[in-house]
Amino acid sequence: DGQRHILLKGAPDRLLDRCHKELGADGKPEPLDRAFWEDHIDKLSAEGLRVLAAASRDVPDSKHQLEIEDLDQDMIFLGLIGIIDPPRPEAIKAIKSCHEAGIRVKMITGDHAGTARAIGIEMGLGKADELKVISGAEIEAATDEELLQIAHDCDIFARTSPEHKLRLVKALQARGEVVAMTGDGVNDAPALKRADVGVAMGIKGTEATKEAAEIVLADDNFSSIERAVEEGRTIYDNLKKAILFILPTNGAQGLVMLTAVIFGLTLPLTPVQILWVNMVVAITLALALAFEPAEPGVMQRPPRKPGTSIMDRSMLIRLVIVSLLIGAATIIMFEYELAQGMELDIARTMAVNTLVIAQAFYLFNARFLTESSLNMKLLFTNRAALIAVVILMLLQLGFVYFPFMNVWFGTAALEPRHWLVSLGIGLAVFLIIEAEKAWSRLREATAS
């Protein structure tokens, strides 16, 4: 129409504050019915719609440069726009999984409180009668001490600014919480940088956001965070399993040699035989633990406390028990064979066999930190462990029966009864550790 206009869109409450008139049905301005529009904003927000408002004003033809003052006066309210932005189904499932894992999920958004509440209910942040929603204005008015309690109690924070997000992160950290923060805009960067773990969106995220974050989600999917938590817990568990396997098996070897030196006994193992044991066990058994899948219930337990030692009391007890069991069995079999008049090479071969086979059985104990390894369904979840044991036994057969191996390592061929004894010792170690695990589970259940 040849007339210059300023067109403005944004948060409905902000635009209503700038308007005194609205566009009537006849296309002419009329007094603003604020109560009418606020009622419709609440209705649209309650349906989970993201609500935007539009306004305009005419300006003279001589107006060529837009200034902030032009937006603060004589704006005419045009109407509301409701945008459907449904949450992904996998995000709803991921939030449920996070809750089961002891992770609290909070929503910090610039949306209207009603919209944020409806979306929060839909996503499963909490029950409708339990969800607590607070606005940015209330955050602004709260002192740092008051915000400590607000940040803990509330689930949804609406109409927030970058400063509010940063204050909330600091408040949660001040309470001793480990905070992960997600974001995609430049205004999220300060909070992402302050959080213990900043998570940026890889598709929608700005470069500033990605620079401030420690993790970038390539698919912009919240469920990827839940999967990352599960993977992180699995890696941590597998690290504990590797430690719980390697330390006591090495401890058993150390115990064997130390006992022989202290009591002036013939060495049950030669240095080259110790190297053989360490080599084949590291290549096969220890490596297999790296392929261990997640423990049952890995996402149904609370997060571990920051600073918690990787070796707890129960692990130390098991370490000592396994070291003593395998070490004592190795020494006893070595001394028994010598007492039976067997040659030194045969006695040492028997000692190596006992040590290796006992470690193979103990591998299946170490695969599960607390769960029973007698569960057949769980026993076959890691094919790498089964393959590793088969490879180990083939190598050990070569170690015992190949003539060139006998020469290199000072070993001798064993009779079938020797193998049966070693297998029996390995089975005994396995059952004793399973009994210890069952006792630990019973003790924890009683304590809780």
C-alpha–C-alpha distance, residues 62 and 187, integer Å: 35
Q: Stretch 225-251: mean pLDDT, rounded? A: 93
pLDDT at residue 79 is higher than 70: yes
pLDDT at 214 over 90: yes
- CATH class of segment(s) 233-447: mainly alpha
Angle in degrees, 0-180, between the axes of helices 113-123 and 89-100, rounded to the nearest 10: 70
Which has the closest alpha carbon to 346: 448, 266, 428?
266
Confidence (pLDDT) at 212: 93
- Residue 333 pLDDT: 96
At residue 1, the pLDDT reads: 59
Write down the mean pLDDT value for the chain. 92
Work out the average pLDDT over 423-440. Answer: 95
Does this model's pTM top 0.95? My answer is no
pLDDT at 371: 87
Pick from 200, 229, 234: which is nearest to 217 by CA? 200
Residue 256 CA to residue 260 CA, distance in Å, equals 6
Q: What is the mean pLDDT of residues 250-255?
A: 94
What confidence tier does 152 reach under pLDDT thresholds 50, 70, 90? very high
- pLDDT at 439 > cutoff 80: yes
pLDDT recorded at residue 218? 92
Give the residue-averaged pLDDT of 202-211. 92
Mean pLDDT of the region 25-38: 92
- Report how far residue 399's alpha carbon sits from residue 129's, in angstroms, rounded to the nearest whole number: 69
What are the E-state strand segments in 47-196?
A: 50-59, 75-83, 107-108, 133-135, 156-158, 180-183
Express as a percent the part of the chain with pLDDT over 70: 99
> What is the C-alpha to C-alpha distance for residues 324 and 190, in angstroms, rounded to an integer?
54
With residue 372 as reference, give the H or E element that holds it.
Answer: none
- Rank 293-297, 351-355, 442-446 by mean pLDDT and report only the highest: 351-355
The CA distance from 81 to 44, in Å, is 9
The whole-angstrom separation of Cα 322 and Cα 170 is: 45
Lowest mean pLDDT: which of 164-173, 311-320, 419-428? Answer: 311-320
Q: What is the pLDDT of residue 340?
A: 93
Q: Which of 84-98, 256-270, 407-421 has the lowest mean pLDDT?
A: 84-98
Give the mean pLDDT of 315-332: 96
The CATH fold assigned to 89-224 is Rossmann fold (3.40.50)
Confidence of residue 88 (pLDDT cuts 50, 70, 90): confident
Bridge partners (DSSP) listed for residue 220: none
Percent of the chain with pLDDT over 90: 70
The residue-averaged pLDDT of 121-137 equals 89
Same fold, 89-224 and 233-447: no
CATH architecture of 4-83: 3-Layer(aba) Sandwich (3.40)
Q: Taking 70 as the threshold, does the pLDDT of residue 448 lie above it?
A: no
**DSSP code of 344?**
H
Q: What is the mean pLDDT of residues 146-151?
A: 95
Average pLDDT over residues 410-414: 95
Cα–Cα distance measured from residue 208 to residue 82, given in angstroms and rounded to the nearest whole number: 30
Q: Is the pLDDT of residue 327 over 90?
A: yes
- All structural domains of the chain with their residue ranges: 4-83, 89-224, 233-447
pLDDT at 206 over 80: yes
Q: Dihedrals φ, ψ of 222, to 5°?
A: -60, -30
